[in-house]
Amino acid sequence: MTILGVIFLGLGFGILIFFGIMRPDFSSKIIELDQRSSSLRLPTLNAPAPNFELKDVSDEIHSFEEYRGKPVLLNFWATWCAPCRIEMPVLQKSFEEYDGELSVIAINNAESKEDVQAFVDEFGLTFDVLLDPEAAIQHLYQISGYPTTFIIDSDGAIRMRHIGLISDDQLDRYLTEIGLP
């Protein structure tokens, strides 16, 4: 097979995966999540954010419930995502700026703990970075592109969903809309 043939074959598989034709079946994982959480709901604006439990890079388990009581910026990302790399400093800046008033959670898309830890170290991230090894939470939150950010109020209700790169100004506006100074 020629190099050109290999390229076209790889491109074909990439297109199939991108458009969801060959996506893995997450239904069994979602059913398992549903059995563990009676409050499991699909993410819709002004409704409670679905609960989840994930480990961080240090193997500590975090439940979304532990963040209730203050606003949450919930970000879905991947190390290979160029816009994710651009916006991580924006998220870190907001986390530092709203010290103690805002929780920031970044959920990685099915990458190795080592790759995620290298990313965290490269960007000096100090907020919670969680691993989603089977992409079950990505599926639960219906993530269709990276990065995707949810702004969740202190009562746990989803107030905004932003798909794509988020700027300082956009993030400041979203956080002001949920009552942060």
* Structure-model confidence comparison of residues 103 and 21, the more confident one: 103
Task: Give the predicted TM-score (pTM) of the model.
Answer: 0.77
Instruction: Please determine, for residue 42, whether its predicted confidence score (pLDDT) is greater than 50.
Output: yes
How far apart, in whole angstroms, are the C-alpha atoms of residue 5 and residue 25? 29
Looking at residue 43, its pLDDT comes to: 81
Please name the helix (run of DSSP H) or strand (run of DSSP E) that holds residue 158, with its range, or none.
Answer: strand 158-163
Cβ pair 76, 138 in contact under 8 A: yes
Looking at residue 125, its pLDDT comes to: 98
Per the CATH hierarchy, to which homologous superfamily does domain 25-177 belong?
Glutaredoxin (3.40.30.10)
Count of positions (residues) in the chain: 181
Instruction: Please determine, for residue 9, whether its predicted confidence score (pLDDT) is greater than 90.
Output: no
Residues of the chain with pLDDT > 70: what percent? Answer: 77
How far apart, in whole angstroms, are the C-alpha atoms of residue 81 and residue 28? 27
Instruction: Please determine, for residue 16, whether its predicted confidence score (pLDDT) is greater than 60.
Output: no
- 34 falls in which pLDDT band (50, 70, 90)? very low
Mean local confidence (pLDDT), 121-127? 98
